[in-house]
Chains A and B, each alone.
Chain A
Amino acid sequence: MTLEFKATIAARNVELELTLDAGETLAIMGPNGAGKSSVVQMLAGLLKPDSGRAALQGRALFSLSPGTLWLPPHERGLGVLAQDPLLFPHLNVLENVAFGPRSQGRGKADSRASAAHWLREVDASELAVRLPSQLSGGQAQRVALARALSTEPELLLLDEPMAALDVNSAPFLRSLLKRVLAGRSAIIVTHSVLDALLLADRIIVIDGGRIVESGPTATVLAHPRSAFAASLAGLNVLQGVLEADSLRMRDGGRVTGRRIPAFAEAPQAVGALEGLAAFAPSAVSVFLAPPQGSPRNCFKVSVGELEPQGEQIRVRAGALSADISPAAVAELGLEPGAEVYFVVKAAEVVLYPA
C-alpha cells in the first residue's frame, strides 16, 4: 500500500476514504463540485480537512482530530500538476524545472542537469531557454509535467491536467502521461473517459462528497452503477486490430481515426496489435442513406431505443449511440427498428492500443 487517505470536510460535505497501491494510477471522476480536486489539495497540503489522516509509504502526511499533525506542502514529497501549468513567469523553462531539485538542496549545476534530463523525458529540450510566456498551452503543460517529476515524487497528483488544452495538444500530453505514469503511483482527476481508460488502472467516482463507485476502470465503465458513471459510459468504444490509421473489427468493418501520438511513433509492422477506437456520441451524425464519396466512417445500424440525454436525444443502436437534436430526430422520422447510417469523421475517432 503506497497511500492511505481518509478525510472529512464538514463545510464542503466531503467524506472520503481511499487507498493506492504502489505503481498504481487511480482516476477520480465525478460532476463539478463533487470534491474531486479537494482530494488533491488535501494530499498536497493546500487544504486542511476537519479530520482524517493520510500516510504515504507509512510516512504520515497529516493526522487530524484525533491528532494535530499537518506536514507543510514542502515536506510532503508529492508532485502536483494542475489544469493551469503555473510555470514561474520570471524563470525560463530550464530554471523552472531546476527549481524543484534546487529547493531540495541540490547544487546549481546538478539541478540544471536534472532539469535537462526531465525536459528530454517530456520532449521539451528545445524549449529550455524560453520564457513561459513564449510557450503554447501544450508546451507549457509538458514543461510543468517535467517540473512536477523533477523532484522524483513518491506520488504524482494530476488535477485535470488536460482540461485547458486544445484538441491538438491533449493527445500528445495524454500519450506522454501514459509513458511516465507506467510504474508510478499517481492520482488523476479527470472529466475525460478517455483519460481514465488510457491512464488509470482503477477509477473512483465521487458525487456529493462521497465515493459512489470504485473499481477497475474497464469494469466501472462497462457496468456503471452510479448515474454519473452511466453518463460517462456513453462513449462509443469498438474493439479490433490496429492497422496504420484504422481499426479492423471482428466483423470485417473498418474505422478510420487518429492514432494517439505515442503509438503513432511506434513501428508500423508489429503484426496484429489489439486496439480500441473511441468516439463520443455527440460526434456521430445520423443519415437515412449512406453519404456519397465521403472519407468518413459509416455504420449501418438498426435503431434500438431513443432516450433523452440533456438537451439531446440519445439514439442507441447495438453497441453504438449517437446524440442528436430532437428536431433532427423528428426530421429523420427515427423510431425503434429504423435502418439508418451512423456517420463519424475520422478526426473525431481516437485509436489506441488496448
Chain B
Amino acid sequence: MPVLVLPKSNRQAARVQGRTWQYTGVPKWIYLVAAVGALFILLPLTGMVAQVNWGQFGALVTSESSLAALVLSLKTAAASTALCIVFGVPLALLLARAQFLGQRILRALILLPLIVPPVVGGLALLYTFGRQGLIGKSLTLVGIDIAFSTTAVIMAQTFVALPFLVLSLEGTLRTAGQKYEAVAATLGARPGTVLRRITLPLVLPGLISGAVLSFARCLGEFGATLTFAGSLQGVTRTMPLEIYLQRETDPEAAVALSFLLIAVAVLVVALTYRVPKSPLRALVSPEATP
C-alpha cells in the first residue's frame, strides 16, 4: 500500500528531497526483478575478481607488454575522446538546433556505429583508409599509411564512440531549451558569443557525461581496432586486445588485466560522473522561484 506523504512546508526539505511530492508508486515486485537485473551485472564481475591471483597481481600487471597496453589504451582513449568532443559538439548542435534537409537521415547515420558490429565498422574503415581503400589509395601515394598504426587505433575508437557523445549532448541541448539563447541574442550577443557564454556552460554536464561515456567506450574498443589497426605491441595492441591475447597463453595475466581495466573504468566514471548539477535543474524545480 503506497503511503502518501504530504509535501513539507519547509522549502529546504523539499529541495533536499529533490521533489515536492514524496509519493513513490513503485510496486514491490519491481524491486525483485530489478534486483535480479542488478545481480546479473554484478555477479560476473565478482566471479572475475574471485579469480584474480592477488599474490602475483603486481608482477602480472607491470609486465612490459601489460604496461605498454595500458599506456597505449589510456593515450588513445584520451585522444579519441578529444576528437569526439571536437566533432561531436558541432554535430550535436546542428542536430538539436539547426533545421536542414536530410537532418533526420544524418541523425540516423551518425547513430549507425552503435548498432553495427565493431568488426564491421573496422572493415569499413579499412576499405576507406586502408592501403587499397577509397581514400587510403591517394594517401598512400603521398606517403601516408593509416591502417595498422596508432592513428588507426584512435580512428577506430572515435568511430565507435562518437555517437555516445552526440546522443548525450543532443539530449541535453534539447532540454536546455533555446529561450536563454534567444534572450542572450536580444541583449546583443552574436551567435558565437551565445554559444561560448550561454549554450556551452548550460550543457556542460551533458558534455561531461557524454565525454565520460565516450572515453569508457574507447577504453573497451576491440573489434574495430583489431580489424583496422591490428595487434602490434606498443603500437596498436590496446588493453582489450592484450587481454584477449593473454587469455590463450596466460589466463592469470588476462584476469589481472581485466580487473585493472574495470578498476580504471570505475575510477574514470566515479571521478567524472559526479558532474556539477546542471544549473538548469534549479529552475526546473518550482521551489527555486518562490
Instruction: Indicate if the CB atoms of B202 and A100 lie closer than 8 Å.
Output: no
B190 located at the interface, meaning its Cβ lies under 8 Å from any Cβ of chain A in the complex: yes
Selected A-B contacts with CB under 8 Å, 17 pairs: A44-B186, A45-B186, A72-B191, A73-B182, A74-B188, A74-B189, A74-B190, A80-B186, A86-B180, A88-B184, A89-B282, A89-B283, A90-B279, A100-B187, A100-B188, A136-B289, A140-B289
CA distance A45 to B197 in the complex (A): 20
Inter-subunit contact A90/B187 (CB<8 Å): no
Given contacts A88-B202, A89-B202, 11 further A-B contacts (CB under 8 A): A44-B182, A72-B185, A74-B187, A74-B188, A90-B201, A99-B187, A103-B184, A104-B188, A133-B279, A136-B289, A136-B290
Kindly state whether residue B116 has any CB partner on chain A within 8 Å.
no
| Shortest distance from the beta carbon of B284 to any chain A beta carbon, whole Å | 10
The answer, yes or no, to whether B94 is at the interface (CB within 8 Å) is no
Q: What chain A residues lie within 8 Å of B180 (beta carbons)?
A: 86, 88-89
Q: How far is the CA of A131 from the CA of B189 in the complex (A)?
A: 21
Q: Quick check: A132 and B283 within 8 Å, CB to CB?
A: yes
Contacts of B201 in A (CB 8 A): 90
Complex contacts, B187 vs chain A, CB 8 Å? 74, 99-100, 103, 147-148, 150-151
- Which B22-77 residues have C-beta < 8 A from chain A? none
Question: Which of B180, B186, B191, B198 counts the most A-chain CB atoms under 10 A from its CB?
Answer: B186
Q: Across the interface, name the chain A residue whose C-beta is closest to B287.
A: A133
B residues with a Cβ closer than 8 A to A are 179-180, 182-191, 193, 197-198, 201-202, 279-280, 282-283, 288-290
Cβ contacts under 8 Å, A73 to chain B:
182, 185-186
B188 partner, pick from A82, A84, A103, beta carbons under 8 A:
A103
B97 to chain A, nearest CB (A): 14
A133-B288, A140-B289 known; A86 vs B202 contact (CB < 8 Å): no
Q: Taking the complex as formed, is A53 at the interface, i.e. its CB lies under 8 A from any CB of chain B? A: no
Q: Are A99 and B197 in contact (CB under 8 A)?
A: yes
CB of A76 within 8 Å of the partner chain: yes
Q: How far is the CA of A169 from the CA of B183 in the complex (A)?
A: 23
Q: Which residues of B contact A90 (CB under 8 A)?
A: 201-202, 279
**Interface flags, A133-175, vs B, CB<8A=1, else 0:** 1011100100000011011000000000000000000000000
From known contacts A79-B186, A103-B187, A103-B189, infer whether A88 and B283 are also in contact, taking CB-CB under 8 Å: no
Chain A residue numbers with a CB within 8 Å of B182 are 44, 46, 73
User: Is B289 within 8 A of A135, CB to CB?
Assistant: yes
A103 in contact with B193 (CB, 8 Å) = yes
A330 to chain B, nearest CB (A): 37
Q: Does A261 make an interface contact (CB < 8 A)?
A: no
Shortest Cβ distance from B285 into chain A, in angstroms? 9
Instruction: List A residues 115-141 near B (Cβ within 8 Å).
Output: 131-133, 135-137, 140
Closest to A105 in B: B188
Given A86-B180, A88-B180, A136-B289, A99 and B189 contact (CB-CB distance below 8 Å): yes
Chain B residue contacts of A103, Cβ below 8 A:
184, 187-190, 193
In the complex, are the beta carbons of A89 and B279 less than 8 A apart? yes
Query: A151 near B279 (CB under 8 angstroms)?
Result: no
Q: Is A78 in contact with chain B by the CB < 8 A criterion? A: yes
Nearest-neighbour CB distance to chain A for B196, whole angstroms, equals 11
Judge if A77 is at the interface, Cβ distance under 8 Å. Answer: yes
For B200, give the chain A residue with the smallest CB separation.
A90
Bound: A224/B185 CA distance, A = 38
